[in-house]
Structure 1
Amino acid sequence: MNKKWITITISGAVIAVILSLTPAFATSTPKENATTENATTENATSFKVVTVPAEQQQKKEVVDRLYKSWEKGIIKIEESKGEKFKKDDWDLIYGVDIDRHFTNQLSDVEAQSFFMALNEAKKEYKTGDSQYGILLSKDHKAARVVWERSNGSFHIADIVLKIKSTILNKEENIWTLVNQEELQ
């Protein structure tokens, strides 16, 4: 009987300590972690936003310069591809925010294959190259990674969606890097 009472008492003490500390932990998040964008009222949550899109973290001048660069790259693609490329069939996405705008809606396998193809394309980066932008087709079956080289030329990498049969004869959407080229 004594052993049961001791066990219950120790368990009760542990639970009491946890419950008494919980309010202290819940209110111990410092207010200075809140961003000005998220702390619109005095009673707003004081959690630090971890997944702020990269585009919003950059200075406006940097973002504007990148979009102008990507626009020049799009003009080079139009000149190179002619009628095969219609600018209106594509959306331009700030490259490192692709997860927020696209891959978060994909299955894990499809998203992983997209990032693997993107990483394969990024192996062509050279010192002095600018940040990449991604042209995503409106039907979400193709992407073009665009960045300006330090010499003013543009690197274009084409990534396409393919259907692949797995070992279990299940079809999966897989993204693959199919072409890379330099446009002057």
Structure 2
Amino acid sequence: PQANPNLVDDLIEKFSALWAAPQLAERVDISFSARFRSSLGNCRPTKGEIRLSSALLDSPQDVFEEVLCHELAHMAAFQLYGPAAKPHGREWKDLMQQAGYAPRVRMPRSLVPHLPKKPPKRRPRWVHRCPICQNSRVGNRPVFEWRCAQCAEAGLAGHLHIERIDRASRDTG
């Protein structure tokens, strides 16, 4: 679509008329952002704002139109039914179906190949080290109940010192 303002305006007018929501065209501000990593857009109905992924500018026009319709349906549901309308609730689904789209929440990533890949989540790891014998265990979270089996068997308390591991330094070294 190459950020064609006429296309955006035409679609807003089309859906506004279809849904009998004349205030839709007057109260919506649409912008594009390169910051999206997993979603293609979001709607803030109380502020009248819709943000779309700039990756949509390089996507097929039918994908762009469906995503814009999806976000406009959120705005229209809020304007027509008030804040009690759930984000992907019955009212939103009805609006999507009136526009000729399946009320889906996710779009296959293959349809928007230019969407930046999400960086992998790097959860912290935790080393649990015995201050007496230096035995250690690594966990995905701190586990305060763990004890050093060798020291506990020898009649000691077996308490472990817990320290967060920086994944970047652990992976490289």
Higher helix share: 1
Same fold at TM > 0.5:
no
Larger relative strand fraction = 1
The normalised TM-score by structure 1 is: 0.27
